[in-house]
Structure formats: structure tokens, C-alpha cells
Amino acid sequence: MRLWMLIIAVIILSFISLFIGAINIKPSDLLNWESLETQIFLISRLPRLLAIILAGAGMGIAGLIMQSLSRNKFVSPTTAGTLDAAKLGIIISMIFFTGMSYIGQIVFSFAFALIGTFIFMQLLERIKFKDAVFVPLIGIMYGNIVGAISTFLAYEADILQNVDTFFQGSFTLVVSGRYELLYVAVPAIIIAYIYANKFTVAGMGEDFAKNVGLSYRTVLNIGLIIVAVISTTVILTVGVIPFLGLIVPNLVSLYLGDNLRKTIPHTIFMGAAFLLICDIISRLIVHPFEIPVNTTVAVIGSAIFLIMLFRGKAYAKK
């Protein structure tokens, strides 16, 4: 698939997304800048579109980096406990540091996401799996343990319902002034592109990286920081979006290979297109109402994930 095809797909899907909602808005309505439709378009529709594109592109890049550094196609922020660790950080800040500012919560969540991802990477280094399928299973188990701790703390503090609502992946409440944190993903993606070749080399293994003069640990830490930053911004803005960072990089690698310098642009637009499609479906199924986008992503993503698992298992037996 050509990059220009993905760009055109994102443009078309973006146009469709802008004019789908509970209130019917036509392009001609935007000619009157003082109309209610124009205000809704500028305050709600446009910020929502930007949030979807940034979240889709960011989570796709985060998954791509994790898969490259872990040398496993089944690893992503969803299957490595990154999102669960970020959730735990937010819950702890809400319970034990009630006076903490929003910036403080961001830093706290980022720290937990970084530590949680680092722990998972250490597990992969210490436990050598002959079958790549076991890696995401271990990651899901690890994430469930972290998630269980979060649920217990939230239950004890009697904020379980609030927490579930807060982390529900949805763009319903995204309006102007409530999504700008996602712009942090832009410099993170730029840094990822700058370090793309180094991530590719690091993905070949620590020994190979050292033999060509690359500081493996430095590159690994930079990659984990990028993943933690993107995961934190997404989860604090729209909640948990599962499988996105797992599916998109795999779809891109099927036709483009594993050179990150080539795959990053494709992953950006593929992630945005995938999330746009899921969001449009979520808004049309029960129109004029909508279901959380994480539900749609989970259904479609889990189906694709199972197909990849079975394909990987079949390939391993050959």
C-alpha cells in the first residue's frame, strides 16, 4: 500500500467524521461563522477529529517501537502492561495525593508507565521464550496483575465507578480545551523518526548493536520514554484504547517490512485511519447516540489479534 493512499484515506475519513454526530451539520452551515452549527464544529467536531488522529498515530508509533525493541510482533502498550501501569499511577495520585495538580498527575502517570514498561522488558530479557506467542500472554497476565491492584485500590477508596468512567476509551467528551495534551505526541513521534534507524539496529539484539558501536541501553531507554509519554497522554485524554498499538504496526510490516525509517510514516496514517474507522462505526451503530470507541476497537482489534496469533502459530510449526 502506498503512503499517498493512506493519506487520501485519512482525508476522506476525516471529512466524514466532521459531519457525523447527534446534530446534523452540513458544509454550507459553516458559511455563517455565528451559527450554532459553526460553534459546534469548532468547539467539538474539529477538536475530536484532531484528538482521534493524534491518538491513533501516537499509539501506532508506541506499538511499533515496542515491537522493534522487544523483537516480538505481539508486544504493544496493551499487551505489555504499559496502559495498566499508567492507570495505576493515576489512581495512586488520586487516592494518596488528592491535592496534586493535573500536571502532577501527568508526571505520576508517566513515571508509572515508564517503570511498568521497563519491568516488562526486563522480564523478556530474563525469561527466554522459544515461542513468540507466549510473550503477549505473559504481558497480558502482567497487565492484569497491575490492573487488579488498581481495581483493589479504587474499590477501597470507593472511586471504582469514577475510575471506570475516567478510563473508558471514548472521544465523546473531547472538546476544545480538553484534548491539547495529545499534542505532546507530536514531538515524541518526531524523535521516534529521528531515532528510527537506531531503533531498527537495536531491534536486532544487544550484541549486534554493540558490535556496530550503538549504545543499546541509551536507545532502549529513549524508546521506552517515547512509549510512556504517548501512552500517558492518550490515557489521560481519552482513556484506554486497546489493540491499536498491536494491530497497526503488524499491518504495516506485512507489506513494508521492519525498517522503521520506512514504516513510521505509514504507521502514523494507518493508525489514524484505523481509529477514524472505528470511531465512525461507533457513532453510526446507534445513531444519534454512540458507543465508546474502545469497544469497537476491542472487537475489531481482538479479531485481528487472534488471526495473527494463529498465523504465527502455524508459521512456527512449518
DSSP code string of 119-184: HHHHHHHHS--SSTTHHHHHHHHHHHHHHHHHHHHHHHTT-HHHHHHHTB--STT--TTSSGGGGG
Rounded average pLDDT over 146-160: 89
Amino acid 312: pLDDT: 59
**Which range marks the domain in which residue 36 is found?**
3-316
Residues with Cβ within 8 Å of 225's Cβ and at least 6 positions away in sequence, in order, are: 114
Q: Using only C-alpha atoms, what is the Rg of the chain?
A: 20
Q: Would the pLDDT of 127 be above 60?
A: yes
| Chain mean pLDDT for the chain | 86
Instruction: From 275, 64, 48, select the one nearest 180 (Cα to Cα).
Output: 48
Longest dimension (CA), the chain: 65
What total number of domains does the chain contain? 1
Residues with Cβ within 8 Å of 314's Cβ and at least 6 positions away in sequence, in order, are: none
Q: Would the pLDDT of 310 be above 80?
A: no
Q: Could you tell me what percent of the chain has a pLDDT over 70? A: 96
Report CA dihedral (160, 165, 167, 172) to the nearest 10 degrees: 180
Model confidence at 318, in pLDDT bands (50, 70, 90)? very low
Q: Which helix (H) or strand (E) holds 290?
A: none
Residue 288, φ and ψ in degrees, nearest 5: -90, 5
Give the integer Cα–Cα distance in Å for 75 and 57.
Answer: 17
The CATH number assigned to the domain holding 60 equals 1.10.3470.10
Model confidence at 167, in pLDDT bands (50, 70, 90)? confident
